[in-house]
Amino acid sequence: MSAEPSSGVAIVTGAVRGIGRAVCLELARAGYRVVANYRGDDELAQSLVSEIAQEGGHAVALRADVTVADDVAGLIEGTLSTFGRLDVLVNNAGITRDTLLMRMSETDWDAVLTTNLKGAFLCSKAAIRPMMRQRSGSIINLTSVVGLVGNAGQTNYAAAKAGLVGFTKSLAKEVGSRGITVNAVAPGFIETRLTDVLPDELKGTIQTQIPLGRMGRPEDVAGVVAFLASPAARYITGAVISVDGGLFMAT
Ligand code: NAD
């Protein structure tokens, strides 16, 4: 028996490529009307909207920098004026600026913390107002296994992603009584622009260590995000679900 298609509305930040794009497609296929947030690439954003429309779904692309409070306010207002409600927020926008701590500039530190952590704060704060009015909603944060186990060369990214785990659990406790769930998904190594930059030798080594024998695909993560957004996950909140092919199993 297949699940009823959703009539809900979902915002996905940083949506035009990689995991965000796959999440938009997956949510649109599940029936959500999708707001694909992007920062700069109009062409990619429009191609995503067209792809969703071709599949019979509904989507709009809204430009906003998730690190700028006024932009985020515009994103939520734009969503409400277009679709009249907001059911799901996927905090997906993220960047890396990898280097050893000894060489890390304050700019690299601030950029990564601001995009990955403050961006989720600004978007969640703006999104929970309409969700509280509806007394329902779901927020899903893209953290990383790096935030759980650490990684040399990524102190800024690991701190931001570990921060997102604390943020997820704390907000889950704040808004649970209003019918809003807050969860995190922690991908391992997924084939996107973020991991394209890794040397082939390192990717080969990582691959041999993954029990499922391959790097992840954006669709592997998108399915879990869509599950957390769905009624099937209604009794899950404050959870962090790893999607890493078994690379980092909890002991
Ligand atoms: P990606 O670089 O392909 O996509 C990230 C998107 O975020 C881009 O479209 C970018 O334009 C957007 N973005 C960046 N700053 C923004 C801002 N200020 N405002 C709006 N959009 C902004 O990367 P991805 O691999 O698809 O990563 C998606 C998420 O998953 C990120 O949060 C990342 O940290 C996380 N993640 C990825 C992996 C992986 O292996 N690829 C692993 C763990 C976690």
Mind listing the pLDDT tens digit for each residue in 79-133? 999 999 999 999 999 999 999 999 999 999 999 999 999 999 999 999 999 999 9
Give the three-class secondary structure for 154.
Answer: coil
pTM: 0.97
Average confidence score pLDDT of the chain: 96
226 token code pair: 């869509």
Average the pLDDT over 1-20 and give the result: 87
Contact between 186 and 148 under an 8 Å Cβ cutoff? The reply is yes
Residues in contact with ligand 1 (CB, 6 Å cut-off): 13-14, 16-20, 39, 65-67, 92-95, 115, 119, 142, 144, 187, 189-190, 192-195
Pocket test for ligand 1, best of 25, 39, 89, 161 (most atoms within 8 A of CB): 39
Which of 54-63, 170-179, 205-214 has the lowest average pLDDT?
205-214
Q: From the CA of 177, how far away is ligand 1's center (Å)?
A: 30
Q: How far apart are CA 158 and CA 149, in angstroms?
A: 8
Q: How far apart are CA 155 and CA 172, in angstroms?
A: 26
- pLDDT value of position 251: 61
Contact between 143 and 120 under an 8 Å Cβ cutoff? The reply is no
* Residue with CA nearest ligand 1 atom 39: 190
pLDDT digits (tens, 9 = 90+) for 127-178: 999 999 999 999 999 999 999 999 999 999 999 999 999 999 999 999 999 9
For residue 185, which phi and psi values (nearest 5 degrees)? -115, 130
Q: From the CA of 146, how far away is ligand 1's center (Å)?
A: 14
Nearest 5°: the CA angle 27, 189, 57 is: 15
User: Any idea which residues carry the catalytic annotation?
Assistant: 157
